[in-house]
């Protein structure tokens, strides 16, 4: 992205200026050993459970749920002897029609009841949501109008857990921890005419592993943060 002009428009999706990025644009070696691919295409903010998640910009918001068991070379992936769950869990997509850009907030413990919700299809553990690939016009039509800083959900680890099958209720995290822990998965993207996400960008403009990311908010030449 070097040399590409980026107009900053994002506020942090949680209160406070101090934070820790635990996964960057590329996965750490530990996460790569679980996911079996290198590119993350987003960033993970480490947060406490029930931390309010805020809209990073104004736009139209839709919520849904996604979860699936990860398969690798024809077999279910296991972690500590249990099936590995993937997906965004409870997640929100916000689309700004003026900027023609959107953001995604994944692994929420709970979504704001004020948001419109698209029910997932399938049967646990494989629950699919078409929200992420929904055309922009449909997000605007079906979504709830939100303003920057509005609470859209609360941080958790939904979708990336293993060893239980009681969707949508989350078991005791002390007995059923996730391998990722509580965090917010955050993406920034555009859309093509069919609704597929395109032009994903690192809001920090770093495009490296988590070690290169700041632990406090900072502005840089290619940052999307205001």
**What is the distance of C-alpha 56 from the center of its chain?**
12
Query: Is 218 domain-assigned?
Result: no
Half-sphere exposure of 200 (CA within 13 A, CB side): 13
| Angstrom distance (rounded) from CA 225 to CA 204 | 7
**Is the residue at 100 inside a domain?**
yes
Residues 112-135: pLDDT tens digits? Answer: 999 999 999 998 778 999 999 999
Q: Summarize pLDDT for 148-183 with one digit per residue, the tens.
A: 999 999 999 888 755 444 444 554 555 544 556 789
Instruction: For residue 180, report the phi and psi dihedrals to the nearest 5 degrees.
Output: -85, -30
Distance in angstroms (rounded) separating the CA atoms of residues 108 and 90: 5
Number of domains in the chain: 1
Which pLDDT score, from 0 to 100, does residue 168 have?
A: 46
pLDDT for residue 180: 66
pLDDT reported for residue 125:
76
Domain contains 14: no
Spatial neighbors of 80 by CB under 8 A, at least 6 apart, are 162, 179
Residue 77 lies in a domain: yes
pTM value is 0.88
Per-residue pLDDT at 101: 97
Give dist(CA 82, CA 20) in Å, integer. Answer: 28
- 3-state SS string for 135-147: CHHHHHHHCEEEC
Domain presence at residue 10 = no
| Measured distance CA(59)–CA(130) in Å, rounded | 19
- Give residue 4's pLDDT: 53
Quick check: is 6 in a domain? no
Whether residue 4 lies inside any domain: the answer is no
Domain membership flag for residue 59: yes
Domain with 83 in it: 21-212
Query: 101: part of which helix (H) or strand (E)?
Result: strand 101-111
Which residues are within 8 A (CB) of 103 and not within 5 positions of it... i.e. 6 or more apart? 10, 13, 56, 57, 93, 94, 186, 187, 188, 189
The CATH number of the domain where 141 resides is what? 2.70.70.10
pLDDT in tens, 59-101: 999 999 998 887 778 887 776 666 667 789 999 999 999 999 9
Reported as a single tens digit per residue, the pLDDT across 11-70 is 999 998 888 998 899 988 777 766 667 889 999 999 999 999 999 999 999 999 998 887
Q: Is 35 helix (H, G, I), strand (E, B) or coil?
A: helix
How many Cα neighbours within 13 Å face the side chain of 203?
A: 28
């Amino acid at each position: 992205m070097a040399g590409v002009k980026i107009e900053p428009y994002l506020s942090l999706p949680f209160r406070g200026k101090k934070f820790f990025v635990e996964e960057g644009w590329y996965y750490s070696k530990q996460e790569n050993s679980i996911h079996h691919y290198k590119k993350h295409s987003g960033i993970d903010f480490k947060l406490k459970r029930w931390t309010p998640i805020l809209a990073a910009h104004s736009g139209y918001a839709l919520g849904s749920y996604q979860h699936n068991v990860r398969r690798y070379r024809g077999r279910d992936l296991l972690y500590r002897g249990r099936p590995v769950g993937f997906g965004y869990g409870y997640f929100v997509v916000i689309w700004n029609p003026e900027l023609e850009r959107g953001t995604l907030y994944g692994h929420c413990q709970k979504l704001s009841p004020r948001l419109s919700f698209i029910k997932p299809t399938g049967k646990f553990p494989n629950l699919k949501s078409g929200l992420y690939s929904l055309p922009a016009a449909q997000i605007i039509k079906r979504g709830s109008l939100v303003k920057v800083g509005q609470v859209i959900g609360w941080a958790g680890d939904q979708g990336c857990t293993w060893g239980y099958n009681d969707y949508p209720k989350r078991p005791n995290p002390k007995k059923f921890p996730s391998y990722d822990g509580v965090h917010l998965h955050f993406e920034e993207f555009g859309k093509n005419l069919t609704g597929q996400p395109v032009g994903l960008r690192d809001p920090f403009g770093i495009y490296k592993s988590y070690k290169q990311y700041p632990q406090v908010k900072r502005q840089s030449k290619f940052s999307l943060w205001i």
